[in-house]
Each structure stands twice: as structure tokens, then as C-alpha cells.
DNA sequence: TCTGGGGTCCTAGGACCC
DNA sequence: TCTGGGGTCCTAGGACCC
């Protein structure tokens, strides 16, 4: 039997959640992203003005004073997200949460998938005050294209036929900048051109797409999710920096932030990578393997510092730093023998104090240097790890 | 789109082995 | 060993996504 896959995509999701909670903004040009200095989502009214995702906020303020700029509230969107997926699960257990506002669902065994799709749309709008667009198709790739055909509140079915042959291949899920440049070079512009290729000459991911575009299912709906593999925290500077102390301090802030995330999620990391990014977008990075899993910024800072000193170059302008924790394991899964050495208990206490008095009340001396004039806080000096 | 942040997966090629 | 063939494992970095 043929498979029937649904793809659901939130319409202007972040902004839609805000408007659901603050209806006075409905019908107005609204964007989110104030806290990140670039636009992360836009209402359709804002799109109509010509604004785009990733446009700098200062530019919006200057050129479009009529646009409301809100901060993103990721935790709030997560709640909407969970409720939205719960509604889809009323109709099937086979739901793959693909991102915060997208999912796939396998409706192969559902009696009337089109009716179900429309019902899901209706339920979500009535119960959550946001809208979604839905596509149906025999494969994930086709369902994903279908949901994008009409937006917002669109519904498109590719179960019986598609009309995608003249669509630019670069629009297809999985064909990115690099591949589309290469394909364009070979005069492969449309889906039709792509399908005319001999499959044997395509890379493996492209073969998958080649099949899926023709309704031959390769990609399964994965309704069980794997545990998280990595955690990152990266920040760009307000303007390029060359001062080593300042750049180091920014990196330490990122280390503290990513460690806090790890402890919140009850993770320790066995490995980490950090980078400093030059003004010219070059990544200078290093990878570190810990001999025991860590989520302690003092220990991690100690290891990163040595590599940072080796990598840092004078008279170079940098624009960002970041760190990714990798090979995550459940926290404290390793014998408590190591606890003293990794400051595990210390950070339990710090997390408790922070919870009571506000995050950031306790910082490491190296990341606090620039904030001394702001507000009183305890300063923790860089401890030694022996 | 002079360019933000957080993820996952794939693959070429080096290291090592028989 | 101036030098074959084949296999596995691992990693860095690229590519892609939202």
C-alpha cells in the first residue's frame, strides 16, 4: 500500500504565538528578535512591507518605524509547540517532531487523511489561536514541498498528482547553496532537469531526493527521537575586537552559559569544541577530550584556556566566539570519586543560589571583568584543577 | 541580504591493521 | 622493504536545516 505522509508547518510561528497571547498586535506588522539584534520571525503584514528574516533590528527601526519589534520567548513557543504536536497525536502515534514548529506524521493507516489534515488545522487554530499549513504526499520530500505551496493556513495534497516539475531544484528540501551552485553549473535548474539525471551519478543524499520527488519513499517518519548529542553557545560581538583579554572574557561567558544549559538538562560532556571567528568569517577552532565528563565551567575553562592561548593571534580582528559540548552523557553517571575534582557539588550550590537571586549573580572572575560596574555579585576566581 | 544562533548528518581521507 | 590490496575506525569539516 502507498504511504501517506503529512507535513505540518507553523505560519510565522514565533510571531503567531506572541499574537495569540497579545491579540492587540493581530493584523499589524510585527517581528521577533529584539534580543538577538536580527529578525527571527515576521508576521505576514511585516513580510508585505519587504522585511526579511535575519534583517538587522537597527535597520528595521530606522526604515520601518511602524513595525513592532518583540523579544523572542523561546520557552513560551515550546509550550505552543508541545500542544500543537499533541493535537496531531490525537490522530496518529507516528509523529516526528522535526523542529519547534514543524512535524511529519504517517497517516498511511488513517481512513480519510484529507479530512484528518483539515481537522488538525481547525483544532490548532481554535485551541491555540495560531495557524498552520499542511501538505500531504507519498514521501516526506513531497509532503514538505506541498505544505509550502500555500501559506498561511494552506492545505495542499500531492497524493494524486504534483505540479513541481518546473520548480527550481534549489527550492527542494536538502538541496542547499553548495549543491544548487553545482547543479546550476551543469545546467540542472528545475526539478524536471534533476529527475532526468542518471541516478548513478548522483551523491547518496541526492539519490534519496531523486526517489522521493517521484513518490518513492526512502525516508521514514521517525517517531522516536534520539537523545541530544551536543549543546552550543555562541555569540557575536557588538563590533569586531582584537583585545585578547576581552575576547577571552567573551569566550568564558559562553562556556558558563553552555555549562548552565548542560546542568539544567542534567548532562555532562565528554568532549568540547570551541572557536574564535575572525572578522573575515574564518573559524579557528580546537577540539578537546576530557578524561572525565564535565559540566563545570571552571574545569572546562582551564582546558580551553591552554588551547586558546595557542590559537590566538595578535593584530587580528575577531567577530565571535563559541563553544559546543559534545558526547553528552547523563550527569554524574560516573563515580562520585571525581566530584571534588570536577567541582560538581560546588556548581550544585551555585545553581541553587542563582535560582534564588538571579542567573549571573555568580560569575567567574575572567568573564566578569567587563561587568564590574553593573551590579554587585560574587566573583569566583579561576580555580585550579589538580 | 557583508552575514545570528543552535543543531544533525555525511564523507573524504588519515591511521592502523592484516 | 620505494611498496599490493583490502578492510575498519575515527575525525574534522563541509553541507544542510530551522
Give the pLDDT of chain A (386 residues) as one tens digit per residue.
789 999 999 999 999 999 999 999 999 999 998 877 789 999 999 999 999 888 888 889 989 999 999 999 999 999 999 999 999 999 999 999 999 999 999 999 999 999 999 999 999 999 999 999 999 999 999 999 999 999 999 999 999 999 999 999 999 999 999 999 999 999 999 999 999 999 888 888 999 999 999 999 999 999 988 899 999 999 999 899 999 999 999 999 999 999 999 999 999 999 999 999 999 889 999 999 998 999 999 999 999 999 999 999 999 999 999 999 999 999 876 544 445 455 566 666 667 666 666 666 666 666 655 543 344 444 454 444 33
C-alpha cell at A34: 529584539
List the A281 CA – B3 C1' distance (angstroms): 9
Q: Which nucleotides of B are covered by protein (CB under 7 A)?
A: 1, 3-12
List the A37 CA – C18 C1' distance (angstroms): 18
Residues with CB under 7 A from strand B: A 36-38, 40, 52-56, 203-205, 226, 228-236, 261, 280-281, 319-320, 322, 324
Cα gap A192→A42, rounded to integer Å: 32
Residue A179 approaches strand C within 7 Å at CB: yes
Which nucleotide lies at the shortest CA–C1' distance from A283? C13
For residue A333, the model assigns a pLDDT of 60
Cα gap A223→A98, rounded to integer Å: 10
List the A94 CA – B8 C1' distance (angstroms): 21
CA distances from A121 to A153, A167, A223, A359 (A): 8, 26, 20, 39
For residue A363, the model assigns a pLDDT of 67
Q: Which nucleotides of C are covered by protein (CB under 7 A)?
A: 11-18
**Contact residues for A275 (Cβ-Cβ < 8 A; gap 6+):** A234, A283, A284, A285, A286, A320, A321, A322, A323
Q: Which residue minimizes Cα–C1' distance to B10?
A: A205
Residue A265 approaches strand C within 7 Å at CB: no
Residue A178 approaches strand C within 7 Å at CB: yes
For residue A383, the model assigns a pLDDT of 40
pTM score: 0.86
Residue A100 approaches strand C within 7 Å at CB: yes
Please count the CA atoms within 13 angstroms of the CA of A330 that sit on its side-chain side: 2
Element (H, E) at A245: helix A244-264
Residue A161: is the preceding peptide bond cis (ω within 30°)? no
Residue A209 approaches strand C within 7 Å at CB: no
Strands A318-330 and A230-241: what pairing? antiparallel
Q: Which of A230, A8, A14, A4 is nearest to A97 (CA)?
A: A8
For residue A361, the model assigns a pLDDT of 63
Cα gap A19→A344, rounded to integer Å: 42
For residue A358, the model assigns a pLDDT of 64
Q: Which of A60, A68, A74, A65 is nearest to A26 (CA)?
A: A68
List the A205 CA – C4 C1' distance (angstroms): 33
For residue A322, list its beta bridge partners: A234, A275
Residue A101 approaches strand C within 7 Å at CB: yes
For residue A152, the model assigns a pLDDT of 95
List the A276 CA – C7 C1' distance (angstroms): 38
List the A261 CA – B6 C1' distance (angstroms): 12
Q: Which of A101, A125, A84 is nearest to A12 (CA)?
A: A101
Are residues A232 and A250 in contact, defined by beta-carbon separation less than 8 angstroms? Answer: no
Amino acid at each position: 500500500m502507498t504511504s501517506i505522509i503529512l507535513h505540518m508547518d507553523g505560519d510565522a510561528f514565533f510571531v503567531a504565538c506572541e499574537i495569540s497571547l497579545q491579540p492587540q498586535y493581530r493584523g499589524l506588522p510585527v517581528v521577533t528578535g529584539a534580543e538577538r539584534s536580527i529578525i527571527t520571525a515576521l508576521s505576514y503584514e511585516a513580510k508585505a512591507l519587504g522585511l526579511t528574516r535575519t534583517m538587522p533590528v537597527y535597520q528595521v527601526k530606522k526604515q520601518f518605524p511602524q513595525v513592532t519589534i518583540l523579544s523572542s520567548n523561546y520557552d513560551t513557543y515550546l509550550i505552543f509547540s508541545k500542544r500543537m504536536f499533541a493535537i496531531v497525536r490525537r490522530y496518529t502515534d507516528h509523529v516526528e517532531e522535526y523542529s519547534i514548529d514543524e512535524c511529519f506524521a504517517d497517516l498511511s493507516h488513517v481512513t480519510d487523511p484529507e479530512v484528518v489534515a483539515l481537522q488538525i488545522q481547525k483544532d490548532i487554530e481554535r485551541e491555540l489561536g495560531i495557524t498552520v499549513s499542511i501538505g500531504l504526499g507519498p514521501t516526506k520530500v513531497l509532503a514538505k514541498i506541498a505544505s509550502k505551496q500555500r501559506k498561511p493556513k494552506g492545505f495542499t495534497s500531492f497524493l494524486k498528482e504534483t505540479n513541481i516539475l518546473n520548480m527550481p531544484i534549489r527550492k527542494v528540501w536538502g538541496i542547499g547553496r553548495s549543491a544548487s551552485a553545482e547543479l546550476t553549473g551543469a545546467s540542472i535548474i528545475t526539478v524536471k532537469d534533476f529527475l532526468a539525471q542518471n541516478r548513478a551519478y548522483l551523491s547518496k543524499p541526492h539519490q534519496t531526493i531523486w526517489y522521493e520527488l517521484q513518490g518513492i519513499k526512502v525516508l521514514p517518519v521517525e517517531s522516536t527521537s534520539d537523545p541530544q548529542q551536543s549543546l552550543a553557545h555562541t555569540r557575536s560581538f557588538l563590533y569586531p575586537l582584537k583585545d585578547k583579554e576581552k575576547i577571552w572574557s567573551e569566550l568564558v561567558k559562553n562556556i558558563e552559559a553552555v555549562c548552565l544549559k548542560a546542568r539544567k538538562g542534567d548532562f555532562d560532556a565528554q568532549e568540547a569544541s570551541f572557536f574564535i571567528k575572525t572578522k573575515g568569517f574564518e573559524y579557528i577552532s580546537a577540539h578537546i577530550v576530557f578524561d572525565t565528563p564535565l559540566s563545570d565551567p571552571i574545569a572546562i575553562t582551564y582546558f580551553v584556556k591552554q588551547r586558546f592561548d595557542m590559537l590566538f593571534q595578535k593584530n587580528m580582528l575577531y567577530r565571535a566566539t563559541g563553544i559546543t559540548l559534545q558526547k553528552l552523557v547523563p550527569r554524574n553517571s560516573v563515580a562520585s570519586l571525581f566530584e571534588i575534582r570536577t567541582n560538581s557539588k560546588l556548581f550544585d550550590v551555585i545553581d541553587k543560589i542563582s535560582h534564588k537571586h538571579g542567573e549571573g549573580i555568580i560569575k567567574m572572575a575572567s568573564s566578569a571583568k567587563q561587568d564590574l560596574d553593573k551590579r554587585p555579585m560574587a566573583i569566583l576566581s579561576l580555580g585550579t584543577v589538580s
